[in-house]
Structure 1
Amino acid sequence: MAYQALYRVWRPQRFDDMIGQEVITRTLKNAITTNQISHAYLFAGPRGTGKTSAAKIFAKAINCHHQQDGEPCNECETCKAITAGTLNDVIEIDAASNNGVEEIRDIRDKVKYAPTVADYKVYIIDEVHMLSTGAFNALLKTLEEPPANVIFILATTEPHKIPATIISRVQRFDFKRIAASDSYHRMTYILDQKHVTYDEQAIKVIAKAAEGGMRDALSILDQALSFGDNEITLDNALLVTGSVTHELLATYVQQVLSGDTKAALATLQSVLEAGKDAERFTEDIISYARDLLLYQQAPKLVEEAEMGSVSDDFQALAQKTPAATMYAMINELNAIQQQMRFTTHPDVYLEILTIKLAEIGRTQGASASPTAAPTGEAPSTPAAADAVTALQHQVDQLKVAVQQLEQAPVAKPAARPAAKPRVNAARTQEVNLAKINPVLGAATREKLNQLQEVWPDLLNSLTVTQRAVMKVSQPVAAADSGVIVAFDYSFLYQKATTDQELTDALENGLDRMVGTALPIVFVPKDQWPEIRKNYLTAHKGELKAHAEAQPATSQADQAAATPATGTPDAAPTDAGPQPPQANPVVTKAEELFGKDIVDIKTD
């Protein structure tokens, strides 16, 4: 028999064989066991996560007369025929090449005929988002009220392209990306069954390169097996994936952080001469910089992603690298990565990138040092010794200056306010106030309560990586025009702001849960009180005019409202102090955030 690819040989044949989709497989098995089978399903998710495999297993399980706990036996004639693709009652259709109205009309005409051998006739339509508008319309009526013993299973990688009228008629299951650790364990199991020798680090490289797709992981593993003559080594895995070692990445990052442009260019040249992919190298650097940032705040997240392989050099580099430097580097890397997609000379862009990153390392004052010069080692040249002596002299002078400043208390307050506005201004520029202010203008407490109730369920619908980013966030204001979400940590706010896939997942989740796809705006939690206060102050006149436009119910109410307009003499002398509810700013604040949150303080 001709050789078959690993992803075909080791394709899951039972629900328990599927990797990383425990919630979906358990739901389907329970539905089969309790005989609560729907007439239509939608399997959505990234490529290589098991959508078509789950559809075929489901088709076997509902037609198997010997199934146990929702699992097919894979031994009866029906199961074998479905596995081989020879059963006429299980029809698999590729919507990419059969996307016209005529093909769907043919299905509509044939669906009324009863199954010939199996109990259920199952239609598996792959890449269903490729159907034309007319084809979707032709499918609507049949999908809503199909004949008895007919089940439709739609699979797609782009569910947002499917009309809402179709989605409302199916049960939707969202397949998530497979964690690198799950891919690693599956590949080691396969290699153990094949009695193939392998390097564990090589399998980890392949698992990370697959980016959440099990089929991609097995395809890369197949390539590595062919390249290494049925032996998996780290060098072979790096060559096949186009990746570079962690040691080389660490060396390159340390060189650019220390501003050593010449050494960094030499390292880059060795990477390009080894045939590494330029875009893959850029992605590796972005991932490395991202891991450095995450390790400073949440070390366990990085350890789980790296499957426990965090070196001492990485930990030391994460401790002494300023977060601001990593932000600047990641922004530059993203810009270069976008430009590299449209060029035939990526090596030129990488050289420019190296020079820019080294400049960032020098200007940001990064304290990272090359691995070739361990801490505490004496300078090897007289020039270096003179430089160290001069630096020590400058340090002594700075210490004396600091002591003098500490003894002069008048100078300290003058220096502090001068620096603070610049820092706040720089930080505030990062927040998109043009999107925040319209939401604040229409925000209500009822809408915020509704969002807070569904927020835990919304987070549970995200992938593991997305959930880790959103774990320390919460909605702080909501309206029919959008939602404002605050982050406890600024580095996670930066990560969420640049992750369009995360924003789309949140907005799609809100669309399913509250019936409206609300735009989402992110803000750092430490800036949120200031943004809220500035908005209320800037719109005080507008809020006051809105309050005055309301019909007066009595003369006493008008008298009570007069002090808020700035003419306290017009109020009766025995009216007492102005009640907080009559102030339009306070009223708007209570409407936005609730009376239990607003704390009124009289100046």
Structure 2
Amino acid sequence: MAYLALYRKWRPRTFTEVVGQKHISIPLERAIEQDRLAHAYLFSGPRGTGKTSMAKILAKAVNCLHPDGVNPCNECQSCREINAGSSLDVYEIDAASNRGIEEIRALRESVRTLPAVSRKKVYIIDEVHMLTKEAFNALLKTLEEPPSHVLFILATTEPEKIPLTILSRCQRYEFHRISVEDIKNHLLYIAKKSDLSLTEDAADLIAVRADGGLRDALSLLDQCSSASESKVLDAPAVYDLLGLTGKDMILDLSHHIFNGDSSAALTLFYNILQGGREPASILRDLLEHFRNLMICKVNPNAPEFSQYGAKVETLRSDASRLPAPYLDSLFDYLHQALHETKRSSSPRLSAEMGLLHLCRMKGSKSLDSLAQRVAQLEEEVERLKKGAVSMPMAASPSPAPVSRPSFPAAPAAPATPAAAPVSPAAPISPMPVPPAPSQPLEGPIPIDTPIRPASQRKNRAPVNEGPNIPQPVPSATPAAPAAVSQPAPDASLIDPKTYPAIWQKVLGYFMAIRRIDVFTCLRKSTLIYCTHTRAIVSAPQQFLVAAGNNKSYQKVAAEAFAKVTGSPIQMHTVLKGGEEEASAFALLKSAEQAGPAPAPAKAAQSGPDYRLVSKDSIPAKDRSDPSLNEALKIMADCDIYEKTES
């Protein structure tokens, strides 16, 4: 007797033998029990899921002479003829080769005659979506009102191509892809009955490669069992026989890519090629591995991971440590490389270039997402914060502004300039990506001092941008002015009740000078501590803290505070709910308990004073001064002051 393929030999012959389609077999059994069969059914679903087999079982069930409940007996003459394909009353029509109107007209003529020996005539039309438009129109009336002795069963893999007029006249059943576990158990059962030594790892691998189709799984098992020389069919043998790359090699190749080791990646790629694999096949297996990593981040216990065997923990470890944006970039580019490799005249060259590009992607800033960059910045800020060394603030005439102060625990008395510790400034790049505003602002809040745009503030009076900044010294004057005494800044705490109004005016100043980036970054922050020399604001997110402490933002903020309060105030941003915020609140509480202090009065100056003059008002003899001319060449757009005696 000729050899019979496994998928034909083990085709289900009763409803109970159908694997993974209980949602269809049970309703059909009940319809047969209650004698409520419809006149037309549509079975749709992926290939190899049992559509044609279910149609034959239903044809046998309605014509069986000795049924076993609702299942056909498969022993009577009607069942044997249907199983052999020789029944005169069951017609299997391939719509792919009989798709014209003439074939459907012949079918309409055949429908009128009574069954030869069976109770019902059954027409099984496979791949029904291949019929032409005219053929569907010819079938329409017959399908709507067939004779009582006729049963239509339509099967298709593409139900969306069937006209709605046909769909509305059928009871539709969707066949699902069969799960990996069901296919694996069925393969092990068939291997046991067929005296095949199939390991569970090999059954897992075949079940995953079948992609939900039991017929495909049986065909792969048939191929491996006939080609294997060993008595035991294990996973390595399946890899070799199906031309797949082993998971160990794929994991090693992916690790070389993650580490950016181009040399090791290409060496392993060459070794796999020497084993008889095609470049496109290697990239396809690697693409499937990247897909599994992305799925593992969402569902670490997905059933298809069983093909990794003991290496499944390695897969889960890689998925947990690799960022999702990086995996997205790898998957997208590898998908393009695979497409190019299939079309290329030199597949190996395209595959090599694709692997080299994947190895370089780890350090590519163009592919780093904003979320990843923000996370890296937050880690760097935390590292700098932990490693920062506090130092006392020196009351010196240095023009450099003080940034990033760290707040001590609540003192017994208000802090003085010499006791206010600060941490050294750390250069932080600006972060011009603010969050969405929680409340819309209906325009800038007016402030007490008139505000002009930055473009019109050419000859404005100088504004101190931090504590202890001296008055400017004209380059044309050889003698330096005497030192100007400054009041104790932290001793002049501004009333906390005025903080909301001050902060709104500061934000309004940002809008007035069109610094939308500073406004958007600080609009969610809150002023929590303010003296006439420094201010502390609390931001809800770490990247807003980093941006607020940027020197350029602090410079604009100092200018805004000077316009609003008339005092040179240096701003520092802390994280809401953090230790620095708690220290600031403790410092505020201590200052309030000590009692309000008067606002600092302007210190009496001894020595020379300076007034702002224009270039035109400079006397002719001074204009010819070589020092002044050289200074004006270097600093063409500058403020000029004349020394006056007080």
TM-score for the superposition, normalised by structure 2 = 0.57
Question: Partners in 2 of 1:255 and 1:26 — Cα distance?
Answer: 51
Q: Does 1:203 align with 2:203?
A: yes
Distance 1:397 1:74, change over 3 A: closer
CA distance in 1, matches of 2:281, 2:423: 52
Deviation at 1:416, TM superposition (A): 9.6
2:52–2:126 Cα contact (<8 Å) kept = yes
Match of 2:300 in 1: 299
**1:18-69 CA distances to partner (integer Å, 9 max, x unpaired)?**
1111101111111111111011111111111111001001101111133234
Equivalent residue number for residue 544 of structure 1: none
Q: Distance in 2 between matches of 1:303 and 1:209?
A: 9
Distance change in 2, residues 1:422/1:399 (3 Å): closer
Distance 1:399 1:62 in 2: 80
1:278-297 equivalent positions in 2, closer than 5 A: 278-297=279-298
Equivalent pair of 2:89/2:115 in contact (CA under 8 Å):
yes
Give the match for residue 133 of structure 1: 133
Q: State yes or no: 1:238 paired with 2:250.
A: no
> Which residue of 2 is the match for residue 146 of structure 1?
146
Partner residue in 1 for 2:347? 346
Question: Which residue of structure 1 lines up, in the alignment, with residue 267 of structure 2?
Answer: 266
Q: 2: distance between equivalents of 1:403 and 1:31?
A: 82
- The code of the aligned residue for 1:122 comes to V
Whichever residue aligns with residue 167 of structure 2, its letter is I
**2:441 — aligned with what?**
none
**Hey, what does 2:39 align to over in structure 1?**
39
For the pair 1:64 / 2:64, whether they are aligned, the reply is: yes
Note closer, same or farther for the CA distance 1:283–1:101 as it changes in structure 2 (3 Å cut).
same
How much does 1:84 deviate?
Answer: 0.8
Instruction: Report the counterpart of residue 92 of structure 1 in structure 2.
Output: 92
Post-superposition Cα deviations, 1:316-341, rounded to whole Å, max 9, x if no partner, equal 22222122211110111222233334
Deviates more, 1:342-351 or 1:295-304: 295-304
Question: 1:461-514, CA deviations, whole angstroms, 9 ceiling, x for partnerless residues?
Answer: xxxxxxxxxxxxxxxxxxxxxxxxxxxxxxxxxxxxxxxxxxxxxxxxxxxxxx
> Would you say 1:421 and 2:422 are equivalent positions?
no
- The 3-state SS of whatever aligns with 2:97 is coil
- 2:319 is the counterpart of 1:318: yes
Give the secondary-structure state (helix, strand or coil) at the position aligned to 1:300: coil
1:169 alignment partner in structure 2:
169
Query: 1:149/1:420 Cα in 2 relative to 1: closer, same or farther (>3 Å)?
Result: farther
Q: Secondary structure at the match of 1:108?
A: helix
Larger displacement relative to structure 2 (260-269 or 333-342): 333-342
DSSP 3-state at the match of 1:311? helix
Which string of whole-angstrom CA distances, capped at 9 and with x for unpartnered residues, describes residues 134-166 of structure 1? 111111111111111101111111111111111
- Cα shift at 1:17: 1.2
Corresponding residue number in structure 2 for 1:529: none
Instruction: Quickly say closer, same or farther: Cα 1:401–1:178, change in 2 above 3 A.
Output: same
Counterpart CA distance in 2 for 1:398 and 1:101 is 79
Cα distance in structure 1, aligned partners of 2:388 and 2:435: 22
Residue number in structure 1 paired with 2:277: 276
Answer whether contact 1:279 1:337 (CA < 8 A) is retained: yes
Alignment map for 1:423-442 (pairs within 5 Å) = none
- Structure 2: gaps of 5 or more residues: 368-379, 391-402, 408-421, 437-646
State the alpha-carbon separation in 1 of the partners of residues 259 and 93 from structure 2: 57
CA distance in 1, matches of 2:366, 2:388: 20
Matched, 1:101 2:123: no
On the 8 A contact 1:206/1:241 being kept in 2, the answer is no
Structure 2 CA distance for partners of 1:221 and 1:68, relative to 1, 3 Å: same
1:212 aligned counterpart, secondary structure: coil
21 and 408 in structure 1: CA distance in 2 versus 1, 3 angstrom threshold: same
* 1:157 aligned residue: 157
Give the letter aligned to residue 339 of structure 2: Q
- Report the CA distance between 1:248 and its aligned residue: 1.0
User: Does residue 326 of structure 2 align to residue 333 of structure 1?
Assistant: no
Structure 1 unmatched ranges of 5 or more: 367-393, 425-603
The secondary structure found in structure 1 opposite 2:41 is strand
Structure whose residues are more often helix by fraction: 1
Q: Rate the CA distance shift 1:315–1:58 in 2: closer, same or farther, 3 A.
A: same
Tell me the secondary structure at the aligned position of residue 421 of structure 1: coil
Is 1:356 paired with 2:378? no
Q: CA deviation at 1:304?
A: 6.6
Q: Secondary structure at the match of 2:302?
A: helix
Give 3-state SS (helix, strand or coil) of 2:153's partner.
strand
Q: What SS is found at the alignment partner of 2:173?
A: strand
2:265 match: secondary structure = helix
Does the CA contact (< 8 Å) of 2:129 and 2:161 recur in 1?
yes
SS at match of 2:155: strand
Alpha-carbon separation, structure 2, partners of 1:406 and 1:243: 58
Q: Is the 8 A contact 2:280 2:351 kept in 1?
A: no
Secondary structure of the residue that 1:41 maps to in structure 2?
strand
Secondary structure at 2:122's aligned position in 1? strand
CA distance in 2, matches of 1:297, 1:102: 53
Conserved? CA contact 2:73–2:79, under 8 Å:
yes
Q: Which has the larger radius of gyration?
A: 2
Secondary structure of the residue aligned to 1:299 is coil
Q: CA deviation at 1:233?
A: 2.6
Structure 2 counterpart of 1:28, one-letter code? L
The sequence identity of aligned pairs, in percent, is 40
Cα 1:242–1:3 change in 2 (3 A) is same
Q: Name the SS of the counterpart of 2:102 in structure 1.
A: helix
| Further displaced range: 27-36 or 235-244 | 235-244
- Please name the residue that 1:22 is paired with: 22
The aligned runs of 1:360-509 (5 Å cut-off) are 360-363=361-364, 407-408=405-406, 418-419=430-431, 421=433
Report the residue type matching 1:87 in the other structure.
S
Question: Is contact 1:89-1:116 (8 Å) kept?
Answer: yes
Question: Aligned partners of 1:423 and 1:332: how far apart in 2?
Answer: 30
- Change in CA separation of 1:323 and 1:413 when aligned onto 2, cut-off 3 Å: farther
Aligned positions of 1:577-596 closer than 5 A: none
Instruction: Measure the CA separation in 2 of the matches of 1:325 and 1:420.
Output: 23
Q: Which runs of 4+ in 1 moved over 3 A?
A: 277-280, 302-310, 362-366, 394-418
